[in-house]
Chains A and B, each alone.
Chain A
Amino acid sequence: MYFYYFKLALLSLRKTPLLTLLMVAMIAIGIGATMTTYTISYMMSKDPIPNKSANLYQVQLDSLNYEFADNDILPNTIAYQDVQALLKSDIPKNHVALGAIQTEIGPIDNPSIERQTLEVRTATSDFFAMFEVPFLHGGGWSEQDGKDAAQVAVLSKETNGWLFNGENSVGRTFYFGKDTYRVIGVLDDWNPLPKYYELSYAAFKKPNGVFIPFNTQIKNEFLTLKLISNYCWKEPDDQSFAALLTSECMWIIFWVELSNAQDRDQYQAFIDNHAKEQQALGRFPRRIFNKLLPLKEYLTDEEIVSDDSKMAVWLAALFLLVCLLNCMSLMIAKFDAKAGEIGLRRAVGASQNDIIKQFAIELSVIGLAGGLLGLLFAKLGLMAAANTYHYLHSGLMQMNSQLLMSTVMLAVVSSLLFGLYPITKASRMQPSSQLKSL
């Protein structure tokens, strides 16, 4: 039965090729535009680390002497003195202090490769476990290496490709500024989107190409102000790096992983306690107000998904609506032209339901074709978007299987939804009115 309707549908579509093509094109254009913008917005707002996003918290401490912004908003960074104290706690499953520097890097034994200035992530040893960073060769540095400020580094796949031709470079050395550092790990492809552990301005940029222990940065007094958010509400004693470390300047991002609510409460008590101790020593002059900001809240607070991208989705959805309304007019025109056929089928015994089924199948075929063509348009749209939004990570412009499926679904469902009225209208037609003219 359904197979017969399917055949009828194809027959009918072939009879009016221009109209069919127009309907398919309308749906495809609307779907293409909607899915292009939706993909970008979806990829921007998706949970970057679903299996543990509920357990990750950014630590924010109010060590200021006056109100920062609105009462509840605190800087994203904390002072070095506090980092040292927090790292002593064994309540979190993982905790990590993050900094960033910029330095010149180059190979030792390959003069044909010119040195480059690269951005380097500095982190404590839990970084790789906490953010589930995949390794191709070797691994991260040990806690001891981290504490000892060892001159070791983890390279991204890309950096390793550039420095060592993509070979397993674990154990080999390279120029890091004026020193030589030893490679202890090479990452596999790793592109968390959004790059949640960072300051918000870099959320859609690639992770840095080199990683070194945080203490190595401290020991060698590396500092690149451009790459950090340094909030110095009180001037350091002098211009030295040592003075920065003992100052109130807040410049280190600090994340903790807390497995459950109990740990969370315990850790909150721990940081509050730390603040009280410091207050007794004359720091934390304003109040004891410390936040464990859940990752998801951090992403919304920082407006990682821009209003612009949400607005683009809205506009594209309205665009789809216009396309579908247009398509609906075409459907009405089409069914109107088929009045004679409907009358005849009804007269020879087809029920209203049969007519509805037949046309629903016809529309599903159109919707499906529109959806598939729409996928192609969306693909082209995303390519154009990658070009227009060249400064964003290209990973945002890629559909996953979930999006692919929902694109086709959206096309079929919306064409049926907008076909509902034309179909029922056609099925209600009185056979007699049409048979007269036959």
Chain B
Amino acid sequence: MRDFLPIIKTFKKKKTAPILLAFQIAVTFMVLVNAIYMISDRNDIIARPVGVDIANTLSVITNLSDEQGDLVNQLEDDLIALKSIYGVVNAAPMTALPLEGWGSYLDVRFDPDEEYVASSGYFGSNEDVIDTLGLRLVAGESFLASDIQTTELNGIHKSAKILITKALAEKISPDDWRAILGKSIYFNKEPHEVIGVIERLQNAWSSWSMVEYTVISSVRETNHSQRYVIRVEPGQMESVIKTIPEVLLTHANKRIETIETLSEIKKRSYQADVANNQLLTSVCIGLTIITLFGILGQAKFTINRRIKQIGTRRALGASKSQVVGYFMLENAIISTIGVVIGILAAIILNNQFVELLSITPVPVNFLLFGAGAIVLLGQLAVAYPVSQAAKVSPAITTKG
């Protein structure tokens, strides 16, 4: 530590290079901390559970055709065919799929003439929905077969019994979410009785702040483009996917639009986030390498200039480790100055950044952790040139 004062004195004499390095470290620190925070923030969002066993659930979109007569019969035939496949646990019709990015949403009201209290995603299905999606009922009960209504389009307008997610229940009934059971909520002026609360089910839009608010209504629709969800036993996915066309394509008018696992749908839903994370990661890696080079080059440059000085110190009795210690400390001081500027800038600029790019501000512990990491990184980068410097022979003072 007694090297501290001499180091500061040297800075005063030759200040440009250390200032540049400190500034560079400040910018690097700012970018790294922000970028890594954004990456982890996004990863947390992507890791949120959908509420469904996505690896063992798949969706089929197929047509119901007017030429084949009654649509309801076709729907029931399809379901019987799908359930008959070996390895299928259960199957249900659905008006839209979790994270599909397309579907209906609604505004929830307690009184049709009042302001809405929440918005929510909407799925219409039948009594098999809980079992098929593997949902957990935390209060109330599921649909009975006798609850199910049928319509061709716009099931959302039909007054019906509904299930809602716990997140939505807590939002609209904050004091006691269980109290929502048995009450009616309105959308589009029609009352809907809440008969059950499910633990979790994300709706169709992963980027929506209300993705956890979902309503499942006991209205099945017979769309011309019909969606089914199917849960399979673990390990049976591939064979089930192979068998589906065989059992569904029973006549010339029948088509299959898509067969997709819910994992694939989730992947597509977050593809922009994953891509941005990749971009951020490559920026971080590039920046770290460049800064390491900068620190390394800077150390080499100062050491080369001070070969004689090192020799003199060694001649006067400084040990190798003392020489190493001197340069390590010098680098640590520069890094710390850089990091302090970085933290100040982060605090000052963060508000602007947050407003400009609508990102969440970086928490303080993250800043401190990042600061530690950067100083450590600097020490690592400086280690090699410094170990070379320690090898300078004291005899150099006697030359020239």
Given A332-B16, A332-B20, A333-B301: A315 and B27 within 8 A (CB)? no
Residues of A within 8 A of B297 (CB): 22, 326, 329-330, 333
Determine how close the nearest CB of chain B comes to the CB of A35; give it in whole angstroms. 14
Specify which of A102, A314, A326, A336 lies most central, judged by the most chain B CB atoms within 10 Å of its CB: A326
A26 interface hit (Cβ, 8 Å):
yes
A312 interface hit (Cβ, 8 Å):
yes
Contact in complex: A315, B298 (CB < 8 Å):
no
From A289-297, A316-324, A354-362, give the one contacting chain B: A316-324
Contact in complex: B154, A232 (CB < 8 Å):
yes
A104 interface hit (Cβ, 8 Å):
yes
Interface residues in A220-252 (C-beta closer than 8 Å to B): 224-226, 232-236, 239
Residues of B within 8 A of A226 (CB): 102, 225
From B76-84, B208-216, B273-281, B309-317, give the one contacting chain A: B273-281
Interface residues in A188-204 (C-beta closer than 8 Å to B): 201
Residues of B within 8 A of A385 (CB): 279
B47 interface hit (Cβ, 8 Å):
no
CB 8 Å contact bits of B248-289 with A (1 = contact, 0 = none): 000000010100000000001001100110111011001100
**Residue of chain B at shortest CB distance from A310:** B357
Interface residues in B145-167 (C-beta closer than 8 Å to A): 151-154, 157
Total A-B pairs, Cβ < 8 A? 114
Residues of A within 8 A of B28 (CB): 322
CA distance A336 to B151 in the complex (A): 83
Specify which of B17, B23, B287, B291 lies most central, judged by the most chain A CB atoms within 10 Å of its CB: B287
Determine how close the nearest CB of chain B comes to the CB of A64; give it in whole angstroms. 12
Contact in complex: A201, B101 (CB < 8 Å):
yes
Given A235-B188, A329-B294: A311 and B359 within 8 A (CB)? yes
B321 interface hit (Cβ, 8 Å):
no
CA distance A31 to B268 in the complex (A): 31
A89 interface hit (Cβ, 8 Å):
no
A389 interface hit (Cβ, 8 Å):
yes
Given A22-B297, A33-B283, A33-B286: A307 and B357 within 8 A (CB)? yes
CB 8 Å contact bits of B208-236 with A (1 = contact, 0 = none): 00000000000000010100000000000
CA distance A225 to B280 in the complex (A): 36
Residues of A within 8 A of B275 (CB): 388-389, 391
Total interface residues in chain B, CB < 8 Å: 50
Contact in complex: A325, B27 (CB < 8 Å):
yes
Residues of B within 8 A of A236 (CB): 154
B21 interface hit (Cβ, 8 Å):
yes
Contact in complex: B290, A26 (CB < 8 Å):
yes
Contact in complex: B20, A239 (CB < 8 Å):
no
Determine how close the nearest CB of chain A comes to the CB of B102; give it in whole angstroms. 6
Contact in complex: A316, B357 (CB < 8 Å):
no
CA distance A329 to B294 in the complex (A): 8
CA distance A411 to B102 in the complex (A): 45
A328 interface hit (Cβ, 8 Å):
yes
Given A233-B188, A311-B359: A325 and B23 within 8 A (CB)? yes
Contact in complex: A329, B279 (CB < 8 Å):
no
Contact in complex: B290, A318 (CB < 8 Å):
no
Residues of A within 8 A of B34 (CB): 315
Determine how close the nearest CB of chain A comes to the CB of B24; give it in whole angstroms. 4
Contact in complex: A318, B30 (CB < 8 Å):
yes
CA distance A318 to B359 in the complex (A): 17
A425 interface hit (Cβ, 8 Å):
yes
Given A104-B255, A322-B291: A239 and B21 within 8 A (CB)? no
A186 interface hit (Cβ, 8 Å):
no
CA distance A388 to B287 in the complex (A): 19
Specify which of B38, B102, B294 lies most central, judged by the most chain A CB atoms within 10 Å of its CB: B294
Contact in complex: A319, B31 (CB < 8 Å):
yes
CA distance A254 to B235 in the complex (A): 49
Q: Would you mind naming 30 contact pairs between A and B with Cβ atoms under 8 Å apart?
A: A33-B283, A102-B225, A225-B223, A226-B102, A226-B225, A234-B188, A235-B154, A236-B154, A239-B151, A239-B153, A308-B276, A311-B357, A312-B283, A315-B35, A318-B30, A319-B283, A319-B286, A319-B287, A319-B290, A322-B31, A325-B294, A326-B297, A329-B17, A329-B301, A332-B16, A333-B297, A333-B301, A388-B275, A388-B278, A388-B279
Please give 16 more A-B residue pairs, beta carbons under 8 A apart, in addition to A201-B101, A226-B102, A306-B272. Answer: A29-B286, A29-B290, A33-B283, A235-B188, A307-B358, A308-B272, A310-B356, A310-B357, A315-B31, A315-B280, A316-B283, A318-B27, A322-B31, A322-B290, A329-B24, A329-B298
A contacts, CB < 8 Å to B: 22, 26, 29-30, 33, 37, 102, 104, 117, 201, 224-226, 232-236, 239, 306-308, 310-312, 314-316, 318-319, 321-323, 325-326, 328-330, 332-333, 336, 384-385, 388-389, 391, 421, 425
3 tightest Cβ-Cβ pairs between the two chains A and B: A235-B157, A239-B152, A326-B294
